[in-house]
Structure 1
């Protein structure tokens, strides 16, 4: 709706909307987002809810503006919109008309309060935001051939807005993981990084850097010509390990792409058999550094069969379903199974008459994990693409993802999803521009 005032009639206000540089900038940006998803969501909600004060799209546009403009607080967002009343009209807020005002609206009465803007950010439907992110992936697929053949995974730390993260403030029991913080009851304590420091006696001591907050898991892809895009994201409290992000991210990635990626890459925190399994099922590899996670290392033959401490190839006996959820193969001493050879061995288990026994994960992904040639050109080429996540994290940090000024998990998660929508819309704009330049002049 275009209002009318004693200064500008509707035709002049329409012309102002069409020529205001800020309005035009956001119209161009929002044109790359599929708003039909929001309209459909609103129609589904209207059957069992009273009519909303403002359209859902108006709120989402306002929150996207908040992130793009680097506005940390709801107060700043409201002040920005009050200074740009044409944006209030163009975003679709239900207007409180005032013909005596320059633009025909009472901006202060039209805009929600600072309190409600903060509450609304928490109440946004996360599934709707995920659909919007998926729609940007589909749009990028239409512009970038082969997008998502290789997918990289990583986790970005996020500081909760609590005094416990302020090292200058005195806090009793700052790193007591069992407490619930007043500033943000949803955040948890986790280790940001762990390093070994050399002591005076030559020994090393592990030093851990703790923070209260969240983790933002991201699945990303890159191409030489078009750059980096986000395929999926997932937010959890910071006490969850990096590997716990893989399955939800993998699921969301497949939904967004409408196919499974061929290759996967990630850092050593993602070294788990089911990560490799996700790649081997589709004819690819998982370029992940080997991480024994503190377990004892034993040698394997080239086909994954374990070698005993005497370097002998062990004998397979039977398979069974392991309690950890994979198919396992039991291997036993080759000097005793399937028949005793009469040869001797000084190993303690052999002396007892049992011989060495190893239960090995025998899934295809587990076998790839221990037999993968991590010096091959294919491995190195795929592992190099892991840096796409680092560049995405860098963009997200510039947009303020690292230190959000909100007090709950849902608000953090919603801000994260909207941040990645912005990153993808930028990538989409870039891809459209590149493709337009590649078209032959007619």
Structure 2
């Protein structure tokens, strides 16, 4: 197993795309075969005392070993790089950024030059990779000649690689956790497994977190709220509810009146909620009060449920104009830099045909990136000690 693990790390490091090329590379570098620890087929007449072709596994077996690599072993190896980086980098993981990188599956449905009537059918299962799924990479509005706009969606068959990352000005970017899912999964789906892996790898809870608006969910803010930090995430426009400034999430009704709290209850989505009602009808009916809103005569006015968990209140009361928010939100670019490095190592278009191989290649890629960062961190710290 160790020999194969070293071989696959070499594949990432050297930018080797196909198993056939990997085998050819090793056959041209027989000393690596010795170093990796493969079981040798001895031949006293061969230059190095063993038969290279018979020692190396076949191309098919290399692909099979990539698919069946122990996921827990790879995750432990990634976590060990995080622990090593934590010892070298003070304050690592105080702020954690989350993001998802799209990946193209190796299927004909992703080739725009090949016609396939199933290319946009989400129920279709590509023969090249039955595990991949159809998802929307990007949605943009294009202006038409008449001045109107038309939505254009770019779809692809593939996977999403979610990462949790941290950055420091001196040492650069570090991957704290990774998680791969089919591309039809929403970005916020990645948050919980990434957060749990991050806590396990660091041995402590992050203080702050940041991500794009796709992570605008109350339970994302809850993690930061429970540990004295903030979640620097842009707020999506869900409805048009306006809240009273300086209050703990007290809403205004559509007519601009401060609503009245009635009772709390357990919401079906898993959080405590406060129900607010029309101030003209609760706690008592205001004499001769009238309102032209449609709900006033039929339901005693409007009502609004507010999430009163710490994360729910942070989401609606967080001031997104402060220097603190901006400084934390700017650290989201660490994920973009990690994604750029991973793309250079070939993560965007993996030449494998099943989800397990994709997941394993992703983890191996992030291990290589972290090892490179660890090498720079050790070199930096050594230079600092020599200066002192």
TM tier, smaller: over 0.9
Residue in structure 2 matching 1:392, options 320, 324, 338: 338
Q: After superposition, what is the alpha-carbon deviation per residue over 1:305-364, rounded to whole angstroms, capped at 9, x for unaligned?
A: 110112111111111111111111100011111112213322222233511111121111
Q: Does 1:146 align with 2:87?
A: no
Distance apart, 1:173 and its partner CA: 2.6
1:266 counterpart residue number: 211
1:324 counterpart residue number: 269
CA distance in 2, matches of 1:232, 1:381: 22
**Which residue of the partner structure matches residue 93 of structure 1?**
38
Q: Distance in 2 between matches of 1:220 and 1:352?
A: 51
Secondary structure in structure 1 of the residue aligned to 2:15: coil
Indicate the residue corresponding to 1:298 in structure 2.
Answer: 241
Tell me the residue number matched to 2:355: 409
TM-score, normalised on structure 2?
A: 0.97
Unaligned ranges ≥5, structure 2: none
Change over 3 Å in CA distance of 1:441–1:299 after alignment to 2: closer
Greater Cα offset, 318-327 or 115-124: 318-327
Paired residues for 1:273-352 under 5 Å: 273-292=218-237, 295-302=238-245, 303=247, 304-342=249-287, 343-352=289-298
Give me the whole-angstrom Cα distance separating, in 2, the residues matched to 1:347 and 1:298: 15
- Per-residue CA deviations over 1:351-393 (Å, capped at 9, x if unaligned) read 3351111112111111111111111000000000000000000
Aligned-residue Cα RMSD (Å) equals 1.1
SS in structure 1 of the partner of residue 243 of structure 2: coil
Q: Give the deviation of 1:175 after TM superposition.
A: 1.3
For residue 352 of structure 1, give the secondary structure of its aligned residue in structure 2: helix
Stretch of structure 1 that moved more, 345-354 or 405-414: 345-354
Question: How far, CA to CA, are the matches of 2:242 and 2:107 in structure 1?
Answer: 48
Matched with 1:236 is 181
Q: 1:142-291 to 2 correspondence within 5 Å?
A: 142-291=87-236
**1:224–1:441: structure 2 CA closer, same or farther, 3 Å change rule?**
closer
Please state if 1:132 is matched with 2:70.
Answer: no
1:369 is the counterpart of 2:315? yes
Q: CA deviation at 1:441?
A: 5.8
Task: Map residues 11-22 of structure 1 onto 2, 5 A cutoff.
Answer: none
Find the residue that maps to 1:439 and give its secondary structure: helix
Of 94-103 and 82-91, more deviation after overlay is shown by 94-103
Candidates 29, 47, 52, aligned match of 1:107: 52
Aligned residues: 385
C-alpha separation in 2, matches of 1:84 and 1:90:
10
Structure 1 unpaired stretches of 5+: 1-55
